[in-house]
Amino acid sequence: MSTAVAGLAVAYAALAVLLLSLNLTSSWRWQVKAAAILVTTGFFGVTYEAVDGMTGWPTTQKLPPRFNLVWTRIVEPDKKNNSAGGIFIWAEELNENNVPATRPRSYQLPYTEAMARKVAGAQERRDKGADVMGRFDDTKREDASGKAIKMGKVVKEGEQNAAVDTVPFREDDASLSFEDLPPVVLPDKGPL
């Protein structure tokens, strides 16, 4: 059980104890007290199911500027099921010494053919045993006429053209690049 689920369970238990203590000393009718207890008890299960369903879902937040590619999955759009598809990347943010600074996290990017080809190429290198580093540049870019280049949006499954969150990447996929992971930068060892 994750810390968030345990924290919510403790919070609801504290709320239930508070409600019970208020019910013991209040002059409310017993029907109101019983309804309040039933509603609070019912929300234990509702909250558990809601939080349990959210754990492990990919985020639509920006990728880290530099990351170690752990794994990828490409889901092509499916018009029959009205699915927008997506590109899923599991990544560990790298610190300045090229060492993973965080636990792996799942990211969802919108599907484009150019991005899918680039991610598939990086996954092939990963499959062959190479450690792959990704770079994500989210600076605003303009085309030759000075107009901002269109940014991609993630579409939530089951919804048509409803942007959930903006994942800044250029549709020509130039904001995401992959290369071999450089070696770890070791600190200088002074004279012995």
Query: How far out from the chain centre does Cα 81 lie?
Result: 23
pLDDT tens sequence for the chain (192 residues): 567 767 777 887 888 888 878 888 888 888 888 888 888 888 877 777 777 656 678 888 889 999 999 999 999 999 898 888 999 999 999 999 999 998 999 999 999 999 999 999 999 999 999 999 999 987 765 555 655 544 444 444 444 333 344 444 545 556 899 999 999 988 788 776
Q: Exposed, middle or buried: residue 50 (CB in 10 Å: 0-12, 13-18, 19+)?
A: exposed
Q: What is the pTM of this model?
A: 0.61
Which residues pair with residue 106 across a beta bridge?
90
Alpha helices in 79-160 (DSSP H): 113-127
Asked if 68 contacts 100 with a C-beta cutoff of 8 angstroms, the reply is yes
- Same structural domain for residues 70 and 118? yes
Phi and psi (nearest 5°) for 136?
-125, 120
What is the number of domains present in the chain? 2
- Same structural domain for residues 168 and 79? yes
- Same structural domain for residues 35 and 117? no
The residue assigned the tokens 């994500």 is 136
